[in-house]
Structure 1
């Protein structure tokens, strides 16, 4: 390695992505359901109670969008475009009996999550037995496959965390991918495998930890009355996230669902959205 390469490596290793605080303003919540009559009012009331932190910060208007107001996905998208909400609140398998089975999100939610730029809050199905809507958002978890630089994700997660609540910032490095790359490195005689394992893993986990430290400082300086807890490790992503949500009794999981390069849902978002049926999700 030349001296220039060494200098560049040291310089890059010293760089730390700093969290950027941004304003989140939610003034209009569109409550999309396939309910009618009193059931709409009951679901909306429970949603408002769950989002009491928004009542304190934004005082949003909650607008019902009952099943009678749309009969296809294009009609629902037109309704969203007309109302211009800052948040869509709904649940899986709208206008479908598939809510009884833990296999899908349903076509309406798929389209809402991918076709609009509006964040979608997914609550447990009102007729399901997988879980009830929590009373608040005291325990919130933001999860992604690469946390450093995810300013929008962290800002939304912090905004939805109740006063004096806990914000878990989760970054799980995929163990199977890591072992695959180490297996390749082990076949290159010029690279010491043990050193590579230690140094690469150290750097992989250092970056999200440094970013979480900057999140903690910036949110603290902004007098956000929430506690930030880091969750950075190596493991099987789906299992680790699922276990972490259960272990910490998380009220809301915040995750990215859109991808710049394709139409399919981002990374681990889809399997997690299918698996975590009893936990509210905020899809960005």
Structure 2
């Protein structure tokens, strides 16, 4: 390695994503359901209770009942006309497929891809899939992504949903399969020492997320937020690791990205986790 390469590597390693805290206030919250009347009002009450962290006069809840849309297209039009800052709904609107836990339903599949508005997906009211601790509060929130560093928006939403005195997990899982494929290529290049590459690359991949979470911790302390930050940075099978973390820590709410510019469907691990 030349001195120029060494200087460039040192410069790049010092170039780190710095977290910027911003308090998010979703003023218009829209509950989308396929029911109406008293049933829809009870569902609204349950949703407001679950998201009591968003209580206050600055948050206005609206209902879009089942008779307000009869197709995916009319749902999208109704949502656009309401201009919500946050959507709360559940899987399999206007469908009986909620009996099988294998998809979100066509309405949600399209909605999560078309709208830029965050969508909270609740268990179907009749399905009985909710865990015993779920839908009580949001004092245990987890942000998950395969590229945490620099994703300020995701972190800020996760913090906003976390109740005062609660815990917010910031998690980053590097794909062990992708890492193994990279090492397999490196092993075929005699000029590169495989074991050294394995140690250094793995350390660098995990360090970026770890450093970013430390920036988040300092910013949270500076803001005086009453939230306990729980970092989790690892390498392995992403879906299995996220499921383990959710079950182990009895997470109330997952915050994750659903849009991916390189995909026509929901982002990678987001779909199976949402299901």
TM-score, with structure 1 as normaliser? 0.93
Q: Equivalents in 1 of 2:143, 2:41: separation in Å? A: 29
Q: Equivalents in 1 of 2:192, 2:258: separation in Å? A: 37
- CA-CA distance at 1:12 after TM superposition: 1.1
Partner of 1:141: 142
Partner of 2:195: 194
- Please provide the CA RMSD for this pair: 1.2
Q: Equivalents in 2 of 1:186, 1:77: separation in Å? A: 50
- CA-CA distance at 1:31 after TM superposition: 0.6
Partner of 1:151: 152
Partner of 1:282: none
- CA-CA distance at 1:36 after TM superposition: 2.5
- CA-CA distance at 1:184 after TM superposition: 1.1
Q: Equivalents in 2 of 1:265, 1:120: separation in Å? A: 13
Partner of 1:125: 124
2:15 maps to 1:15: yes
SS of the residue corresponding to residue 191 of structure 1 reads coil
Q: Equivalents in 2 of 1:154, 1:267: separation in Å? A: 19
Partner of 1:278: none
1:9-158 alignment, distance < 5 Å: 9-56=9-56, 59-131=58-130, 133-158=134-159
Deviates more, 1:169-178 or 1:257-266: 257-266
- CA-CA distance at 1:21 after TM superposition: 1.3
2:186 maps to 1:185: yes
Structure 1: gaps spanning 5 or more residues: 275-284
SS of the residue corresponding to residue 234 of structure 1 reads strand
- CA-CA distance at 1:14 after TM superposition: 2.2
